[in-house]
Amino acid sequence: TVVKIEDVYDEFSGGMFDPTAIRDFLKYVYFNWNKRPQYVLLFGDGDYDYKNIIGNADENWIPAYEDSSLAEYTTRTTDDWYAYVNGTDHLVDYSIGRIPSQTTDQAENVLNKIVNYESNPDYGPWRNTVTIVADDEFGDLSQGNDNELMHVLDAEDIAEHYYPPLFNKKKIYLMEYPLVLSPAGRRKPAAENDFVQQINKGCLMINYLGHGNERLLAHERVIQISKDLPRIINAGRLAFWIAATCAFGRYDMPEEQSMAEQLMTEADNGAIALLSASRDAFAQPNADFNKRYLSKLFITPHRTRRIGDALRLTKISAINIVNDEKYWLCGDPTLNLAVPRLKVELQKISPDSLKALSKILVTGSVLDKGQIAADFNGKVDLKAFDSKRPTAYTTARGSTVHFILPGRPIFRGEGKITNGRFSMQFIVPKDISYGGNLGRISAYIWNDQIDGSGYKDNIAVDGTAKGLVDHRGPKIQIGFKNQNFMDGDLLAPDPVMEVTLTDEQSGINIAGDIGHKITLILDNNPSTKRNITDYFQYNVGSYFSGKLEYPLTDIKTGFHSAEIKAWDNSNNSSTQTVHFTITPQNELIVQRLYPYPNPFENATTLSFEINQPAQISLKIYTLSGRLIAELPVYDANAGFNTMRWDGHDQDGDEISNGVYLFKFQASAEKLSFQKIGKFIKMK
């Protein structure tokens, strides 16, 4: 049921703007409607400026309830108050959420994302991944504060005990990243880049614990509105965020929106929902809230409650009501998370330990209600990991914290599932831990209707297999997406590099060990070196050949070179370099426009390079200007293209010897290019 806020005011506050009218209405509904609703969605932003004292503030669509406390750490705005309708207790009686839209466009953005998430899902292994981010010991003190270690300790507890082991876990712990001191302050750009990259790759959930405010997370600004929001490109792979931090979701500011709100209302990209605080909150109650929420969210590894129901149950179990009330659901409370529903059983791993240079066979099946789903046909994404890595970090003050990092990936590729069964192979690289027994193999399966997942943990990783001898590095081919690329070609801004790697003896090393990463160096400058190993994926059914796609979003216009270095699983390396020119966004450039052969006897081909996709027309004239032939419009890709003319006129007759003019025209949106040239027929 949709109810307009104006009607609520008319019936429950005499037409006056009054937040109390909203609660009175919801109380009336609770006790008087024949079918009592379970969910409440407040559709519209709100702020504390009830009387518009500021004057130029945005409209207060659905007002925020402001608690009367003026103390710094107990002041809060909360939507829970609207759901306190049965009695005088502080127990929420509705599962309540808010979509903080300020414009029709923002409202449509959110609705489109929710509809696509639920009705047009983008299946993929991102749905089997959760990301846990933890702040370091550096708060306001330059030497750090050992009390701040609680962030990583709580994050580790949450990762290992509150998220089901079904999920592959990406841990971004800031203490693991190098510190960079800049004029703007203390920064950890590698952590920031890893975080944004992980958001863009997609994951089911993102869980942050640490310091933050309405514009950023962590003092090192591991993510911030001004810099990182434009970098987030994750359409179709939207995460549900839990931000156990201060004020990240402060939604009652009259003149701006918090980062949580902007992630929610961003078109296509951003987040599918967020759970965050509207005011300053405390670390220990935050972590406790985080843990209680996850324990209510996951019923089984393959089944969750609706995100609003989990929040209602969490609030009912509140230990610290003041801190809990600061947390609100930015999103639809009826949303079901995209948890893989079917179970996958890994039936055979042969041999049963991961030895360097050994070929591993993995067989598995898809289960539905405990039985093999013989009617399931689709794909499987298989990932194999080295043994987990027990890690210790010692602070400047001498305290040591222990945590476990996931094992490095040693294989990721796709295979086919037929009648509910699959079989895949891969080669274990030399770069393994030799001695661990915490290896892991994970399988995510999907078709166009449903998905599922399964795993096998505690696999031994030790020893070296005999028989594989390989002294050659992998073959490297470099191109660009949607382009017939040749070395030296023109490229439009923000091209996506495509790299194909093949090694038919050993396969490609993706363990990412020191010195053995897949790397990119631009313009022969070592300072531009980038680790792009995580972008590699084996081809379907292959364990020796695959591809990676890497966006070059920060390359300036002009001439550039790109060097790719890759390793095989026997630790042989190869390098390959290409050259290209980035052209301006607002120009349509054509170069190397040549007919060949010219002169020609029977037919000729016009080749050219173009910097972006365009429609091409080619007309041929006599020297007197009479049109004799016109080729069909050709849709050219960016890069190298060819158009063939058979040397006949529009009537199908072969033309006579002589000189002819051609008019080459290219058009792309509002851009155009034209050139006149000559064909010479000589037979």
Residue 60 lies in a domain: no
- Are 384 and 409 in contact, with CB atoms under 8 Å apart? yes
270, 261 contact by CB (below 8 A): no
Q: What is the CATH number of the domain that holds 566?
A: 2.60.40.650
The residue among 330, 352, 387 that closes a domain is 330
Q: Is residue 576 part of a domain?
A: yes
Residue 31 is assigned to a structural domain of this protein? no
Tens digits of residue pLDDT in 432-469: 999 889 999 999 999 999 999 999 999 999 999 998 99
Which of the listed residues 261, 296, 330 is the one where a domain comes to its end? Answer: 330
Three-class DSSP category at 182: strand
The two three-digit tokens of residue 482, written as one number: 């949607």
436 and 492 share a domain?
no
Question: What is the SS3 assignment for 223?
Answer: strand
User: Burial, 493: exposed, middle or buried (Cβ in 10 Å; 0-12, 13-18, 19+)?
Assistant: middle
Mention every residue, 6+ apart, whose C-beta is less than 8 A from residue 14.
Answer: none
100 and 176 co-located in one domain:
yes
CATH number at residue 460: 2.60.40.1930
Residue identified by tokens 């060949």 is 596
Question: Do the domain assignments include residue 52?
Answer: no
**Measured distance CA(589)–CA(490) in Å, rounded:** 8
> Can you give the pLDDT at residue 141?
59
Does residue 676 share a domain with residue 631?
yes
> Is there a single domain that holds both residue 351 and residue 460?
yes
With residue 219 as reference, give the H or E element that holds it.
none
299 and 236, same structural domain? yes
Report yes or no on 42 lying in a domain: no
Structure tokens at 581: 């020119």
Q: Is the pLDDT of residue 140 over 70?
A: no
Q: What does the block give as tokens for 54? A: 């500021």
Residue 499 shares a structural domain with residue 618: no
Does residue 119 sit in the same domain as residue 266? yes
pLDDT at residue 57 is higher than 70: no
Task: Return the pLDDT at 5.
Answer: 95
Residues 206, 200: Cα–Cα separation, whole Å: 12
If asked whether residues 451 and 507 sit together in one domain, one would say no
Specify whether the CB–CB gap between 613 and 637 falls below 8 A.
yes
Verify that 665 and 518 share a domain, yes or no. Answer: no
The 10s digit of each residue's pLDDT in 605-625 is 999 999 989 999 999 999 999
The domain boundary, picked from 545, 564, 582, lies at 582
How many domains does one find in the chain? Answer: 4
CATH (domain of 134): 3.40.50.1460
Comparing CA positions, the residue from 307, 263, 144, 112 lying closest to residue 211 is 144
Domain for residue 162, yes or no?
A: yes
Flag whether pLDDT at 265 surpasses 90: yes
Per-residue pLDDT tens for 386-443?
999 999 999 888 899 999 999 999 999 999 999 999 999 999 999 999 988 999 999 9
177 and 321 both lie in a single domain: yes
User: Whats the size of the chain, residue-wise?
Assistant: 683
Task: Tell me what percent of the residues of the chain surpass a pLDDT of 90.
Answer: 85
On average, the pLDDT of the chain sits at 94
Q: How far apart are CA 409 and CA 241, in angstroms?
A: 25
321 and 384 share one domain: no
> In this structure, is residue 68 part of a structural domain?
no
Residue from 286, 156, 172, 184 nearest 222 by CA: 172
The domain in which residue 596 lies consists of 590-681
Q: Is residue 154 part of a domain?
A: yes
**Is 547 found in the same domain as 619?**
no
